[in-house]
Amino acid sequence: MRSVTILGATGSVGTSTLDLVERAPDQFRVRALTANCDVAGLAAAAIRTRAELAVVADESCLPALREALRGTNIGAAGGRQAVIDAAAGAAWTMAAIVGCAGLEPVMAAIAAGGTVVLANKEPLVSAGELVLAAAAASGATLLPADSEHNAIFQCLDRDRPERVRRIVLTGSGGPFRDWSTEAMRAVTPAQALAHPNWTMGAKISIDSATMFNKGLELIEAARLFPIAPDRIEIVIHKQSVVHSMVEYVDGSMLAQLGPSDMRVPIAHTLAWPDRLATPLPPLDLIALRRLDFEAPDPGRFPALRLARAALDAGGARPAILNAANEVAVAAFLAGWIGFLDIAAIVADILERYDPPAPRTLDAVLAVDAEARRLAEERLKDCMA
């Protein structure tokens, strides 16, 4: 049996992973599950899967977790260091903690070797060089769980990348892909959370609506795959059936198609290099009838331009972009700023803050903290 740890077990990716693991109890043994403070969800999942350990990042939630697990043999722990400690030790680890909070646990899992599945973009965006160097040093295998990067992973000839002409990242365009800039000024959090194709957590849903999600995926793809960034393109595909494509120098293009369900890419990483059955019905191509593609509009969605510029500049720029976006998204969800203010705040912080390239994990975290501080100060202007 393969030992499994799920970091962020009560989020959308975590629950999808649990669904697959629970369908194959003879194949997987759950070592650890973590959550921020969803005690009820975490305890229930730990009991169902007979996990060895359950961890809450918010230490104030630990007494409630211990009470929920009383009478079981499941260990309980709490706090930032407890999550980092829980990240090491499993043969397969799902990294699904939202935001840069997942960076340290991911680095701990990588240092321990084994297979680390990246569902959160932030480690590769904010600390890509450090993540890849750590994996090379420990011999860890990194697998992408994002539907787009997993599609590329399945289509890419990694032994002969020189034969690749381009990578095409597809994106739904979010709920406002056809809206004017003026119309988007009045967007509410409830509207932005209503993704037309996917069921996702709040942060990634807002990122999809602003298209920052696609910008972060661009940076992540440049880290994961040995392809020059100027050969990675973004295309809007509103059906979300073609999850990404790889074009070769002879004109052949390989695409991975599948339902808009995260259990498809997660199942691929759980079984890789084998395949794992999912409960999803076959893709009905006849019912689909057509697949549409169009160019994105960086005028209405400046996140794409900001992400491309951060990738090209390198250094601390991607980490700044990510940190400022996290602060702005949280403020929008709280009702403090408008939808268009998200990209404006990120652009402002990128313009005003340009530190040297971080060379250590502590330096990355320091850049992240300062970018957040500046973004929080900038919020006051939007709220005035």
DSSP code per residue over 238-276: TT--EEEEEEETTS-EEEEE--S-THHHHHHHHHTTS--
- Whether a cis peptide bond, with omega within 30° of 0, leads into 144 is no
pLDDT at 128: 93
Least confident of 198-212, 222-236, 269-283: 198-212
pLDDT greater than 60 at residue 81: yes
Residue 310 pLDDT more than 80? yes
Q: Which amino acid is at 358?
A: P
Enter the tokens of residue 28.
């997987």
CA-based nearest residue to 212, from 372, 49, 339 = 339
Do 362 and 103 touch, CB atoms closer than 8 A? no
Among 198, 342, 300, CA closest to 258 = 198
Note the pLDDT tens digit of each residue in 171-226: 999 999 999 999 999 999 999 998 877 677 889 899 999 999 999 999 999 999 99
Contacts of 344 (CB under 8 A, 6+ apart): 382
- What pLDDT is stored for residue 104 in this prediction? 94
What pLDDT score does 166 carry?
97
Write down the residue that tokens 């440049």 correspond to: 222
Query: Model-level pTM greater than 0.85?
Result: yes
Q: Are the CB atoms for 224 and 124 separated by under 8 Å?
A: yes
| Per-residue confidence (pLDDT) for residue 120, from 0 to 100 | 86
Q: How confident is the model at residue 293 (pLDDT cuts 50, 70, 90)?
A: very high
Exposure string over 32-46, b if 16+ CB within 10 A, otherwise e? bbbbbbbbebbbebb
Residue 283 pLDDT > 70: yes
Per residue in 252-270, pLDDT (tens digit) is 999 999 999 999 999 999 9
Task: Report the Cα 112 to chain-centroid distance in Å.
Answer: 21
Residue 290: closest CA among 235, 234, 239, 256: 239
User: pLDDT for 90-145, tens place per residue?
Assistant: 999 999 998 788 899 999 999 999 999 999 888 999 999 999 999 999 999 999 99
In order of their start, the domains of the chain are: 2-144 (3.40.50.720), 158-258+282-383 (1.10.1740.10)
Task: Please report the pLDDT score of residue 172 as a whole number.
Answer: 92
Please tell me the distance from the alpha carbon of residue 384 to that of residue 380, in angstroms, as a whole number: 6
Q: In whole angstroms, give the CA distance from residue 248 to residue 9.
A: 38
% pLDDT > 90, the chain = 92
CA 316 to CA 359: how far, in whole Å? 10
Tell me what the mean pLDDT of segment 38-46 comes to: 98
- Quick: pLDDT tens for 133-169: 999 999 999 999 999 999 999 999 989 999 999 999 9
Q: In what order do the strands lie in the sheet with 232-236?
A: 232-236, 164-171, 242-248, 253-257
Please list the alpha-helical segments (H only) found in the chain: 12-23, 39-49, 62-68, 80-86, 103-111, 122-138, 147-155, 181-184, 189-193, 202-210, 212-224, 263-271, 285-288, 303-313, 317-333, 341-352, 361-383
Edge to edge, the sheet with strand 28-35 lists: 75-78, 53-56, 28-35, 2-7, 92-95, 115-118, 141-144
Residue 382 has pLDDT above 90, yes or no: no
For 28, phi then psi, to 5°, come to -130, 140
- Whether the pLDDT of residue 383 is over 80: the answer is no
- What pLDDT sits at residue 384? 57
Cα 341 to chain centroid distance, Å, stands at 22
Structure confidence at residue 276 as a pLDDT band (50, 70, 90):
very high
Alpha-carbon torsion 343, 348, 349, 353, what sign?
A: positive
- Sign (positive or negative) of CA dihedral 229, 165, 204, 303: positive
Burial of 165 (0-12, 13-18, 19+ CB in 10 A): middle
CB 374 within 8 A of CB 326: no
The whole-number pLDDT of residue 196 equals 79
